[in-house]
Amino acid sequence: MRKVFHTIAALACLCLSLTASAQNKQGASGTNKIEPLPRDLEIQLALSALPPHLRDNATVYVLNPDKGFEVVRKGTNGFHAFVARTGDDTFRGSWPLHRYRDDILYPISFDEAGSKAQMRVFFDAAEMQAKGTPPEELKKIIQHRYKTNYYKAPERAGVSYMLSPILRTYVNPDQSDDVATANIPHVMHYAPNVSAKEIGAATPTPEQFQYFKEHGRWPETPYPILILHGAHGYMVQFQGAAERDAITKEYADMLAQLCKIKDAWCLPR
């Protein structure tokens, strides 16, 4: 009788172990994997981050949810474009990253200097996410790498274009994990280890962040703002209303496709 009892107990433990293992695998898959965009749409969205004269000869990447970013077209002009689904602002602030969002849409490009420095954060994050790294652990790893200077500042002055007509990301990631879909084409110049006062940049106010969250665009301002203070800082200059409207019109079909895929990717009216 005792043997039978032990056998049943062992089988029960084995079943529980196998069930837990299957659930863990299922949970990791569901938590970490991002549903890819249609390839042609992803390429078009990536290139929309760049000004027209740089698109034809830029290196373009697409996201392989099982591996990370992969080159889909090798360029010759030193610029790199891709669509991040977990952006670098995910790792700002002290709020815990409990899950990987499936609605982040982050078209961005870097020049050659930025591709050796800032871009590594995006690529490392995508690779670790694809391998199943839990989100809270990934955030800790990336933040530790920033603190220990694993990620170096760009070696020279340079630029990151984010001219796409759509961006869905965190509103004020230094404070919270609130997200918004926005229409804010802008240009970011590398500004390592400088203060807003030193370069005459405006400091975003709580009212401006709230406006961004509610309206999906930054309040009209002729002045740049400074983000990511420290070695990886950027001076951000937003495009004017006329330029923004022209870009939105140019990509009307692309925006319609994205809106059909996910409601969160419909631009606010």
Note the pLDDT tens digit of each residue in 233-243. 999 999 999 99
Q: Which of 60-69, 115-124, 215-224 has the lowest mean pLDDT?
A: 215-224
Q: Is residue 177 part of a domain?
A: yes
- pLDDT score, position 217: 85
Q: Average pLDDT, stretch 173-178?
A: 94
- Please determine, for residue 223, whether its predicted confidence score (pLDDT) is greater than 50: yes
Q: Which of 143, 154, 86 is nearest to 118 (CA)?
A: 154
Q: Looking at residue 6, what is its pLDDT?
A: 46
Residue 20 included in any domain: no
Specify the pLDDT at position 31: 56
Q: Two tokens at 239?
A: 């495009």
Amino acid at 55: R
What pLDDT shows up at residue 260? 97
In a domain, 184, yes or no: yes
pLDDT at 258 over 80: yes
**Average pLDDT of span 164-190:** 96
Q: What is the pLDDT of residues 64-111, one digit of tens each?
A: 999 999 999 999 999 999 999 999 999 999 999 999 999 999 999 999
Residue 78 lies in a domain: yes
Tell me the percentage of the chain whose pLDDT exceeds 70.
88
* Host domain of residue 171: 32-265
Task: Report yes or no on 2 lying in a domain.
Answer: no
Examine residue 24 and state whether it is found in any structural domain, yes or no. Answer: no
> Residue 11 pLDDT more than 80?
no
Residue 103 maps to a domain: yes
Q: What integer pLDDT is reported at residue 197 of this predicted model?
A: 87
Number of domains in the chain: 1
pLDDT band at 34 (very low <50, low <70, confident <90, very high): confident
Please, which residues have CB within 8 angstroms of residue 90's CB and are 6 or more apart in sequence?
A: 97, 104, 125, 139, 170, 173
Q: Assess whether pLDDT exceeds 90 at residue 57.
A: yes
Computed over every residue of the chain, the mean pLDDT equals 88
Let me know if residue 127 belongs to a domain.
yes
Q: What percent of the chain has pLDDT over 90?
A: 72
Q: Going along the chain, which residue ranges are E strands? A: 59-64, 68-73, 80-84, 106-110, 159-162, 167-170, 179-182, 186-190, 225-227, 234-238
